[in-house]
Structure 1
């Protein structure tokens, strides 16, 4: 079937249309890449502001824009510890850094090296290191063991090769985090391969010049077939590979995505992982370098895909997939047995040539069905398949939520890291961060400026709230300085920073101004569009509003200011800015519960509430104190409504605790108890509802 050139051309064009329909197109690829670049830029800026010698990178499918929703790719993070310096020549030794000398000899496999410890005060070998993470070789050199990574493993992460893998966390995509040391220069073997690439074909001369300016890294994993596995380190050229990926055309990207779908459908069966995405990427690089560039076009995608699968088959046949930048480094070394090799050969051989029949079986993103519909083999009416607009909206909304989450994550990390510091120290740290953000905004590129605009408002709001808490404690007023900081942070999102200001005004008795701001938030918060976003813990998303998805697809990352509502978070230093009903949340845990908290439980020392229920709670309290009973009852009804109907409340138990206290104020003790019981049903431990139940039962008994 489908043997003539015209058939191949027709199928290729229809296949390209299918991939366009599932958002594998230039617009969405650029949008996905932009999100990743902004995230790594923001993370790096934050580390610089905190004086951490760390640079963040995001690699892999999401950063490249080479994935789809159906592929369920994980997120790859790499951070370099810039206080380390891996050198090849003694002239590269740098005072003030922990220098490590790269050693490659007959005992190290291609693509791997040993790291020799050097003295911090002079370019000389270190001879005095001891401990579990050092070993002395036969030449009396002190070598650094890669098992040092085990010291930073956490309870939710599993070590997989050089990375700490977080998998199956509710509400989050799987992630791999790699700690790396930066190299001052490229290894000689990789440099030689780069120099030998055909300058007139691919990579282009411009790309090669750029690649030579990129850093390479060493990561903590040894060769599996090596006797020195514990103290070998793998070389990484991820930045150079990113350069290649960012210069692919749309047909080459689609070929890569199809390869991953084919591998997942036909090659790696039953959760096998013999052929990795990185192998597919490397095969693609070799194919592009050896095949004329004019061949890589939409009408020829089937032939290009066949060539890639054929090349992969040849690699499996000889058991050798050479790394693109170090041909002596065999990516398949020790990956599978002879028996598995024969099985893989048979599976790949069955796919050559890649025609419509083999593609019809791909269920990922309904690619097989979509292609059959395009070729008029089956009728679309009988198959419930999402359309192109729906795919674009789904990915866009996912990306915007991810943007909102990492903004909150960066802010929350500072709140949690400074929780044991004094209020003055916390203020000093936040102001230092804002000073760095200002400087980077002034001198940085576009991604730095966007990152600054997204991050700064939350920090401004926290600074203002801390100063206000101090003001309230001293004389129950809010200084102009505090108000100026709070106003500078108002545009962090739709609601949270404005609600902080309203909460502060309520606590000082400035009720009319509080009511005015609350009314403004009520107008801004469109319940058909605005999505609550939480990064306190791994909250699973259960529903996505169509209005949110539509706007996400039409605008860039700064839409977080207009259609996202962050959680409202008060640290214990901000306790004077919090109504007493919410203060209980800062003391939700018993000593036993504190000792048994997990990785994502730091937020429990704060008072945290979703924006919408907090809006209605503050309206209820403010209207009551202003003697506006109708407005107060309307706010109570809205608070009841939101706790029951909003599907994405991350802190529903807190909303129920606030609602219960409102019910107590209404002298509806039974309703209050029901709220507290529902709250405990949602979160059995670390819940202030137990305090409220005891009080409520005591009042009822009296």
Structure 2
């Protein structure tokens, strides 16, 4: 039986406890995986409903693996591939009528890479054509697809290898988008890996069998220094690697996390882009495959980490880190210059020989300080509630981002067109037999679709008959549990617009009762701003998964132009916020500006003010006005504070406080100088004041 020395065992156990405290334990890893795989399902199901069947998205990397911490600030890695291309490795897989691309994996191509030869759509022969930006014709007449398409797909993004990086603001992850093509068959260069199997060796035969069914991707980046660098496509086995990661035990995952933390603390600040986290993952895979499973225990974590670091040290000496599945692909090729090599080796050597002492100097997640306290039997603060809150908020944000695409498709539609489109989306979702996370994702989307369809129908009813049909109200009711407030506020807004004031009052009162100011988080995806999470929100999220979103989040309320008759007059101005000059300063992310969008909480108090005014409840009306003012001043997480100030200004006008109204509009313009309805409110009010004096 393998025996662990007392010192190593003590350090290993304390280190395992620290990692558990910062969220690297079984429960939080599963929560991370569920959240990001559910977000992946949201994207793909919504694309299916919108008939974007040629596109499929995967979320890979440390976020979906659960191999990250708060301090690492890991990127969000999305791989997006176009299914209209048929990438093949054998001529027998050629399909007529589609874009067939043959993977060329001969000696002229770097290991782990391929060329994509273009084939004809009518017969299985090489395609004809001339060289241009996207295609290259060699001297034999064969036509190849170049990897320059990556630059086209990643316009306005920083290019890093095959990825386009969208930089996140403070509190948001950077988004790495990789555009790829998928091949349904396992890569030829990796077939030897499938055949290598000793008894009790990791990965198991069952795992390899599953991996073989995942096929592979090709991404648009060539091997550095290759003579075919502009033509080569890197072969990616990301789906197979996800399977391997999901089959690691907790000690193996912690070992990988520690390697990344060490890299971040001691190497990356001085030698950026030399050693990558993917190399660390590959090293861990090799170590697991070449050691007995009994070694990978919590009380042996330090020894496992040392072994992995030593293998990385050896790889750097040899300047060769073989890809785990395609060993011929050297991940370190062209990465380590002679000038930096001795320094990196010295750093790693010092860490290895420190017997864990080097870990005390790691500031990421305060790991060193936490480890020091553990030796004195002190228990530092656990991060699980913060992580859980961040995960579920990101899920709510992801859902809003996904539905924003639908809003953008509907915002220029007439009411009749919007109704037909929404009906089609809803029927399609009902007929698709989703299972597991896909079913959960479809239900999250369906609620919003139902409420939106009901609201569009209601707007059409109000325009024609000044009433709301039973069908519209029934559809709206199907989506009332989307979150705490947004769908219910739409219902209250509709009831107010048809002068069903008593019913509107009942709905508003119910919203206010369920809107716990210590728990409910405002969710807005219209643009990024730094979030400050409420402690009550994070604590509640720690005990639940996505089912708690309906009690803890409130998305901004968005009215499409085809819902205009469901919107009070004061808010309709938001649909016309942009002058021709303002539009020149808008980006593709500003399409929401053609809608009326307002945060749930200020809109709740605005509707309260309007309803109580109609009912003649003066004291309650003034209380609602004070709540609206307080929310604008004190609520840190408002995405549309300028809109809240605009509707407050309209309330001040109704109160006869023109000076206060002008101040509200001025404050609104200080937040957003352009594309702001405050310009119209201010102009109209000044005109009224001037004419009145005259």
Pairwise CA distance, 1:42: 1.6
Write the distance in 2 (CA, Å) between the matches of 1:478 and 1:48.
31
Write the distance in 2 (CA, Å) between the matches of 1:697 and 1:78.
52
Pairwise CA distance, 1:301: 0.6
Listed one character per residue, the Cα deviations across residues 481-529 of structure 1 (whole Å, up to 9, x for unaligned) are 2111111111110000010011111111111111111111111111111
3-state SS of paired residue (2:352): coil
Q: 2:381 matched to 1:387?
A: yes
Listed one character per residue, the Cα deviations across residues 80-113 of structure 1 (whole Å, up to 9, x for unaligned) are 2111111011111123432110011222100111
Write the distance in 1 (CA, Å) between the matches of 2:29 and 2:429.
28
Pairwise CA distance, 1:235: 0.4
- In structure 2, the residue matched to 1:502 is 492
Listed one character per residue, the Cα deviations across residues 235-275 of structure 1 (whole Å, up to 9, x for unaligned) are 00000000010000000000000000111111222471211
Instruction: Please identify, of 400-409 and 44-53, the stretch whose mean Cα deviation from structure 2 is larger.
Output: 44-53
Write the distance in 1 (CA, Å) between the matches of 2:213 and 2:478.
39
Instruction: Please identify, of 267-276 and 242-251, the stretch whose mean Cα deviation from structure 2 is larger.
Output: 267-276
Write the distance in 2 (CA, Å) between the matches of 1:253 and 1:527.
38
3-state SS of paired residue (1:231): coil
Q: Aligned runs of 1:277-356 on 2, under 5 Å?
A: 277-353=277-353, 355-356=355-356
Of 514, 523, 527, 1:537 maps to 527
8 Å contact 1:201–1:289 — kept in the other structure?
yes
Q: 2:403 matched to 1:402?
A: no
Write the distance in 2 (CA, Å) between the matches of 1:164 and 1:472.
46
8 Å contact 1:315–1:321 — kept in the other structure?
yes
- In structure 1, the residue matched to 2:655 is 666
Pairwise CA distance, 1:161: 1.1
Q: 2:627 matched to 1:651?
A: no
- Change in CA separation of 1:485 and 1:169 when aligned onto 2, cut-off 3 Å: same
- In structure 2, the residue matched to 1:236 is 236
Write the distance in 1 (CA, Å) between the matches of 2:605 and 2:4.
67
Write the distance in 1 (CA, Å) between the matches of 2:294 and 2:74.
30
Pairwise CA distance, 1:599: 3.4
Listed one character per residue, the Cα deviations across residues 126-173 of structure 1 (whole Å, up to 9, x for unaligned) are 113664201101221110011012222233x21211111011434421
Write the distance in 2 (CA, Å) between the matches of 1:241 and 1:583.
50
Q: 2:590 matched to 1:601?
A: yes
- In structure 2, the residue matched to 1:110 is 111
What is the root-mean-square deviation of aligned Cα atoms in Å?
Answer: 1.6
Write the distance in 2 (CA, Å) between the matches of 1:138 and 1:508.
73
- In structure 2, the residue matched to 1:480 is 470
- In structure 2, the residue matched to 1:516 is 506
Of 404, 407, 416, 1:412 maps to 404
Write the distance in 1 (CA, Å) between the matches of 2:106 and 2:267.
36
8 Å contact 1:306–1:354 — kept in the other structure?
no
Write the distance in 2 (CA, Å) between the matches of 1:481 and 1:465.
10
- In structure 2, the residue matched to 1:620 is 609
Instruction: Please identify, of 516-525 and 342-351, the stretch whose mean Cα deviation from structure 2 is larger.
Output: 342-351
Instruction: Please identify, of 416-425 and 353-362, the stretch whose mean Cα deviation from structure 2 is larger.
Output: 416-425
Pairwise CA distance, 1:425: 2.7
- After TM superposition, the score normalised by the length of structure 1 is 0.96
- In structure 2, the residue matched to 1:569 is 558
- Change in CA separation of 1:4 and 1:464 when aligned onto 2, cut-off 3 Å: closer
Write the distance in 2 (CA, Å) between the matches of 1:416 and 1:215.
34
Q: 2:24 matched to 1:24?
A: yes
- After TM superposition, the score normalised by the length of structure 2 is 0.97
Listed one character per residue, the Cα deviations across residues 527-573 of structure 1 (whole Å, up to 9, x for unaligned) are 111110111111221x2111111110011112111110000001111
Write the distance in 2 (CA, Å) between the matches of 1:170 and 1:687.
24
Instruction: Please identify, of 445-454 and 7-16, the stretch whose mean Cα deviation from structure 2 is larger.
Output: 445-454
Pairwise CA distance, 1:181: 0.6
Write the distance in 2 (CA, Å) between the matches of 1:31 and 1:7.
33
Listed one character per residue, the Cα deviations across residues 399-429 of structure 1 (whole Å, up to 9, x for unaligned) are 0101101111111111112323333333222
8 Å contact 2:22–2:365 — kept in the other structure?
yes
3-state SS of paired residue (1:221): coil
Size of the aligned set, in residue pairs, is 688
8 Å contact 1:499–1:611 — kept in the other structure?
yes
Write the distance in 2 (CA, Å) between the matches of 1:651 and 1:64.
34
Write the distance in 2 (CA, Å) between the matches of 1:232 and 1:494.
50
3-state SS of paired residue (1:180): strand
3-state SS of paired residue (2:320): coil
8 Å contact 2:271–2:340 — kept in the other structure?
no
- In structure 2, the residue matched to 1:493 is 483
Of 682, 692, 702, 2:681 maps to 692
Q: Aligned runs of 1:42-191 on 2, under 5 Å?
A: 42-52=42-52, 53-128=54-129, 131-155=132-156, 157-191=157-191
Pairwise CA distance, 1:461: 0.9
Write the distance in 2 (CA, Å) between the matches of 1:306 and 1:588.
60
Pairwise CA distance, 1:431: 2.1
Pairwise CA distance, 1:18: 0.8
- In structure 2, the residue matched to 1:463 is 453
- Which structure 2 residue ranges, 5 or more long, are not aligned? none
Instruction: Please identify, of 203-212 and 661-670, the stretch whose mean Cα deviation from structure 2 is larger.
Output: 203-212
Write the distance in 1 (CA, Å) between the matches of 2:627 and 2:339.
65
3-state SS of paired residue (1:600): helix
Listed one character per residue, the Cα deviations across residues 14-38 of structure 1 (whole Å, up to 9, x for unaligned) are 1111111111100000000000111
